[in-house]
C-alpha cells in the first residue's frame, strides 16, 4: 500500500488492498481469547486457502472384522483393534513403549483409575504447534506420568496378551518398544508407522474393502462413534481425542474428565460392552 500511495503506481492494486473483509470463524474464535478486531484487513495477494474437508473419511462398513480375519499376525490384529477402540494416531501407537501401558485398574501413576496408556513424545518434530497439543510427560519413580492419556478397552488388553505371549516373547530385542518387526534382517527391532500403514493397506485389499484403509479413518470413525453415542457432548468429544478441532473447547472449558459418566457410557457403547 505504501508503494502504491507514495509512488502512485498500480492504483488498481491499491483499491484491492483497501478492501476489508468480515471476520471468519477462525477470527471470531481468536476474538474469544481477546485479540482480534471487528474487521480484518484483506490481502488480495494471499494464496487462496483450500477449503477444509468437512466430512472426514470414515472406515468402510465391516472394516474391523474384515481386517482381523485376513491379518497374518497377532501384532496386526492388535493394531487393528487398538486403532478401532481409541483415537490413537499411528505415530503415537508405533511410538509406544511397554512402560507407557498401564493396563491394570488403579495404576501407579494415579492419573486414570481404569486401564489406559500414555502417549509420550520422546522424539520427532519440536514445532511449537505440535508441542502445544501434546502435554509433557515424565518418569516418576519408574512410572510414566503425563503425556496424552487414552483409555484402553478389554479387547485391546486381550489382543495385547495374545501378541506379547507369542510373537513378542519370541522375537523382541531389548529396546522396550511395543511394536516390533516380525520378519526380515531387522526382526525384533521396532516397527515403523510406514510399515503399519502398509500392513493396513494390504489387509484392506485382501479383505476386499473399498478404498484405501488408513489409520486416520479409524480415528475419525472412533471419534464420530463416540460423539454419536454421547449425543454430541463437546466435552466427550474432547475426551475422545479430537484434539485439533477441539482446541477451542480446551481453552473455554479446561480439560475433560476421562471418567465423566457421559464419556464412560459413550465408550462402553462404542466398545460394544454389555453392562
| Chain positions contacting Zn ion, by CB under 5 A | 102, 107, 109, 111
* C-alpha distance from residue 259 to each of 104, 158, 240, 243, 264 (Å): 15, 22, 11, 17, 6
* C-alpha distance from residue 138 to each of 98, 183, 219 (Å): 15, 33, 26
Nearer of residues 102 and 151 to Zn ion, judged by Cβ: 102
Q: Closest Cα to residue 196, out of 87, 94, 99, 111?
A: 94
Q: Name the CA radius of gyration of the chain, rounded.
A: 23
Sequence-separated (6 or more) residues with CB below 8 Å from residue 93: 79, 82, 83, 179, 193, 196, 215
Which helix (H) or strand (E) is 150 found in, with range?
strand 148-151
Q: How far is the CB of 265 from Zn ion (least distance, A)?
A: 22
**CB neighbours of residue 193 within 10 Å:** 16
Nearer of residues 107 and 266 to Zn ion, judged by Cβ: 107
Nearer of residues 109 and 164 to Zn ion, judged by Cβ: 109
Q: How far is the CB of 118 from Zn ion (least distance, A)?
A: 5
Residue nearest to Zn ion (CB): 109
The three three-digit cell numbers of residue 26, written as one number? 477462525
**Rounded Cα–Cα distance for residues 245 and 132 (Å):** 14
Nearer of residues 145 and 221 to Zn ion, judged by Cβ: 145
Q: How far is the CB of 237 from Zn ion (least distance, A)?
A: 22
Nearer of residues 151 and 203 to Zn ion, judged by Cβ: 151
Q: How far is the CB of 107 from Zn ion (least distance, A)?
A: 4
Nearer of residues 59 and 101 to Zn ion, judged by Cβ: 101
**Rounded Cα–Cα distance for residues 16 and 271 (Å):** 54
- CB of 117 closer than 8 Å to CB of 149: yes
Q: How far is the CB of 108 from Zn ion (least distance, A)?
A: 7
Which helix (H) or strand (E) is 20 found in, with range?
strand 20-21
Q: How far is the CB of 146 from Zn ion (least distance, A)?
A: 9
- CB of 181 closer than 8 Å to CB of 190: yes
Nearer of residues 134 and 171 to Zn ion, judged by Cβ: 134
Q: How far is the CB of 234 from Zn ion (least distance, A)?
A: 25
Amino acid at each position: 500500500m505504501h508503494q502504491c500511495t507514495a509512488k502512485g503506481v498500480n492504483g488498481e492494486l491499491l483499491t484491492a488492498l483497501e478492501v476489508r473483509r468480515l471476520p471468519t470463524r477462525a477470527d471470531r474464535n481468536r476474538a474469544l481469547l481477546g485479540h482480534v478486531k471487528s474487521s480484518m484487513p484483506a490481502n488480495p495477494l494471499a494464496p487462496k486457502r483450500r477449503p477444509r474437508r468437512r466430512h472426514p473419511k470414515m472406515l468402510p462398513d465391516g472394516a474391523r472384522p474384515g481386517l482381523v480375519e485376513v491379518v497374518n499376525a497377532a501384532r496386526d490384529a492388535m493394531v487393528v483393534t487398538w486403532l478401532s477402540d481409541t483415537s490413537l494416531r499411528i505415530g503415537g501407537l508405533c511410538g509406544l513403549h511397554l512402560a507407557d501401558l498401564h493396563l491394570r485398574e488403579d495404576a501407579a501413576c494415579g492419573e486414570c483409575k481404569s486401564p489406559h496408556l500414555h502417549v509420550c513424545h520422546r522424539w520427532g518434530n519440536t514445532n511449537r504447534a505440535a508441542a502445544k497439543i501434546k502435554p509433557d510427560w515424565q518418569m516418576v519413580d519408574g512410572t510414566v506420568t503425563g503425556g496424552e492419556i487414552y483409555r484402553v478397552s478389554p479387547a485391546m488388553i486381550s489382543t495385547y496378551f495374545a501378541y506379547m505371549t507369542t510373537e513378542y516373547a519370541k522375537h523382541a530385542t531389548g529396546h522396550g518398544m511395543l511394536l516390533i518387526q516380525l520378519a526380515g534382517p531387522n526382526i525384533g527391532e521396532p516397527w515403523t508407522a510406514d510399515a503399519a500403514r502398509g500392513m493396513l493397506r494390504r489387509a484392506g485389499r485382501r479383505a476386499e474393502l473399498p478404498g484405501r484403509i488408513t489409520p486416520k479413518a479409524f480415528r475419525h470413525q472412533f471419534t464420530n462413534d463416540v460423539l454419536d453415542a454421547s449425543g454430541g457432548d463437546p466435552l466427550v468429544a474432547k475426551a475422545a481425542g479430537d484434539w485439533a478441532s477441539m482446541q477451542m473447547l480446551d481453552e473455554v472449558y479446561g480439560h475433560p474428565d476421562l471418567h465423566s459418566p457421559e464419556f464412560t457410557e459413550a465408550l462402553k457403547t462404542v466398545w460394544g460392552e454389555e453392562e
